[in-house]
Structure 1
């Protein structure tokens, strides 16, 4: 069998795999409606979380905002309430909560939310922190704190709503990851580790809860204009700054609309922007899909996107090496001045 015959055989096998997928009875989730739903949002006092709350209310949902600081929650509540539809039964509640606190407190906060507005139909895990330092400059305690909030906090919040969702056989769970949860980047050893971990948690969880008509969405936004990004930029390494800029800067409301649209459809891996599309194809792995079109994209584009990705990686390596040389030259110049 020559090379051409092997390629034809490979193409036929790919098509057969797609056809087998297309007739699967377990693929397409039922449409999820936000109107009349109760959406609980951790990290809901600012950034992406608050933007998701605004969009959810615009679409007829009631929301519970959770965050650590009451003052910021009250401000967010007032802002989100402006979008409550006149004459509706929509409500916007707030609950002070640190999702990384002991589980009993997290569980109690969610019970309070449910007692006020009814069962949770959608959970948006937006609470999180960033850390943009080279690994050698990162304290172990700081690394552990990032994991505790970004991973453990998400796990605890999800666990608090899951039993009720499964008993009702209805629900959506959103995990806010990052493009740094798809590709490891300079300065994001702690942050990327926490976001990569969310992916493994989400894939396993999705397989467990799909029979209950519960769908998990992992959204991976690039840099988004939020208070967290602004705080992160204060001490972000030059390498990290230059690499992050390649994906552009997005507004929270743009990301929020994509999150809600994809989670309603039951999309597992949700992306933002062209770079996000490329990364989705490259990192699709064994994640679930919801349509033949999505499957075809991954089958036929993963190789092309991987090739493009290699050019990106080469450019990132050049940035890192250039910054290293600049630091070395600066150190030599400084030493010469002092002599």
Structure 2
């Protein structure tokens, strides 16, 4: 089995890779930083479940369609067709909309939305032609509700729902499974950087729930891939937003505005 993980050098992506490594899968890890990818490969090799020959790393920006396409094609040429794609690469830069530069806003859209589309585009036609394969798109709980100071992140992550739903319609009956998940705050290196910039207005709402470990999130993601779960929610509050958002969000927004007044 060949598993490709974007954002595989740390956090949720690396923990997902760790689980597939334990199964003896051939792994391709994609991320921007070569040094972090090399460190991730060393961690996986230290587990003793896979050999160096079964792990590829590709230092490429998922926002670059051409660059990612070349990297994914090379991975499939060496390890065989992609059986499972975990599209988990993402960035977050909190800040009020009027303070975010166009460059910072665009980077989040390019990575979180276009980066997912680019990764899927690289392997989906082959999956469809073979009649098998699984794609798991990693969105965020923030993709289910608008949050103070997260205009770019919420916009990019919420757009993934529409993408996943439309793609699932196109993939119906083809043998290719399309899934999307909505993780909560998760202890990752990026989360630590995000917290330092998170507005207190956002923390008043988001801080009500305890962050999950990347290991726990990854375990549920891999289990959902195994089961073919189309939409995966984490915890009561995110599940409520995902299933009853039209009822839950007005109450949350009322509480938030009342708290600020």
The TM-score bracket by the shorter chain reads: over 0.9
Q: How far off is 1:271 after superposition?
A: 1.0
TM-aligned CA deviation for residue 59 of structure 1: 2.9
Residues 126-176 of structure 1, C-alpha deviations (whole Å, 9 max, x = no match): 111102112122222211111111111111110000111011111111111
Counterpart pick for 1:221 among 183, 202, 205? 183
Q: Which of 119, 123, 130 lines up with 2:92 in the alignment? A: 130
TM-score normalised over the length of structure 1: 0.73
1:262 aligned residue (221, 224, 228): 224
**Separation of aligned partners in 2, 1:58 and 1:316:** 44
Q: 1:315 aligns with which of 238, 244, 255?
A: 255
Out of 132, 140, 147, which is 1:185 matched to? 147
The question of whether the paired residues in 2 share the 8 Å contact of 1:132 and 1:240 is answered with no
How many residue pairs align between the two structures? 261
CA drift of 1:187 comes to 1.0
Counterpart of 1:77?
Answer: 41
RMSD: 1.9
Residue 277 (1) aligns with residue 239 (2): yes
CA contact (8 A) 2:85 2:120 kept: yes
Equivalent of 1:62 in 26, 29, 52:
26
Structure 1 gaps, min length 5: 1-36, 284-301, 323-339
CA distance in 2, matches of 1:100, 1:154: 8
**Contact 1:172/1:264 (CA < 8 Å) preserved in 2?**
no
More strand, by proportion: 2
Trace 1:122-161 onto structure 2 (pairs within 5 A). 122-161=84-123
- Aligned residue in 2 for 1:48: 12
C-alpha distance in 1 between matches for 2:114 and 2:94: 19
Any stretches of 5+ residues in structure 2 without a counterpart?
Answer: none
